[in-house]
Amino acid sequence: MSWFKRDKGDDEKLPHLADGERRVRTEGLWQKCEGCRQIIWKKDLEANWNVCPKCGAHSRIDAVTRLRLLLDDADYVRHDTELRSSDPLEFVDSKPYRSRLAVMQQATNLSDALIAAEGRLAGRAVQICAMEPRFIGGSMGSVVGEMITRAIERAIERGQPLIVVSASGGARMQEGAVSLMQMAKISAALMRLDEARLPFFSILTDPTTGGVTASFAMLGDLNIAEPGALIGFAGPRVIEQTIRQKLPEGFQRSEFLLEHGMLDAVVPRLELKQYVATAMGFFMD
């Protein structure tokens, strides 16, 4: 004899859950490390500035997070937010360039692939630019070139050091020669900064490639890279197909470039602020 009996009408009185409500929502809570392939609680990874706590692999971070990492109290004033590309070529590929820009501007809440700001690093006022890799691959067009050039001019005017954090696929093809002109434009402005005896700290992150590497990213008084960052002009596959040879292990990674004299230092992300602060003391005091 059963201890209890359920009437057929009882099922209708119970709350019914949709299939989606029966499942525990875990999507987006975990992330696989690209270094050790371990599954990591995403909040733990973000609390460690996207550096894997198991193997130390450095995942990419956006421009806003970069400024929070480097500047005191994450406090800064943004400049030149009104600048917009004029689409000089009226370029169209799979979609019009203007439409692509509008989508990126809405997705990132930025006018282009760079934030130009002024803040304090270890108590010292600095001009700083951080590239945004989510905005068309962090590519450099006319707006990025103009913003960096204006940051250099502000540094000269106010007697402040300049920091540029690069994360870019290179010059933006949708602006053609106009984007390539930014390489010379920024390089010329950096010469004026050098003549003013003010330091330029170039921080290269994953990836830093193409026209950005071929211009300002490698012109720092100190060229500093994060561990494991891809840094180069043409990509490894393009080089291998051109020279028809297998490239050395770790080619175009920051450790390889340091070993071959192309970088001054490879500094872990969590030590970067203190390293730059110490270096500024040598240059400015």
């921080």: which residue's tokens? 203
- Residue 197 — pLDDT band, cuts 50, 70, 90? very high
Instruction: Report pLDDT for 239.
Output: 93
- Residue 168: inside a domain, yes or no? yes
Question: Which of the four pLDDT bands, split at 50, 70 and 90, describes residue 182?
Answer: very high
Is the pLDDT at 134 greater than 80? The verdict is yes
Q: Is the pLDDT of residue 209 over 80?
A: yes
Does 172 fall in a domain? yes
The answer to whether 38 and 54 are in contact (CB under 8 A) is: yes
CB 269 within 8 A of CB 49: yes
Q: How many domains does the chain have?
A: 1
Helix (H) or strand (E) holding 166: strand 162-168
| Residue 244, in any domain of the structure | yes
Q: Tell me the three state secondary structure of residue 8.
A: coil
Q: Tell me what the mean pLDDT of segment 128-152 comes to.
A: 98
**Is the whole model's pTM more than 0.85, yes or no?**
yes
Residue 34 lies in a domain: no
Q: Looking at residue 28, what is its pLDDT?
A: 76
pLDDT number for residue 12: 58
pLDDT (mean) for 46-56: 93
Look up the CATH number of the domain holding residue 257: 3.90.226.10
Rg (CA), the chain: 24
Full residue range of the structural domain in which residue 161 is found? 60-284
> In whole angstroms, what is the distance from residue 78 CA to residue 117 CA?
4
Amino acid at 199: P
213's tokens: 């590497």
Q: Is the dihedral of CA 194, 196, 197, 198 positive or negative?
A: negative
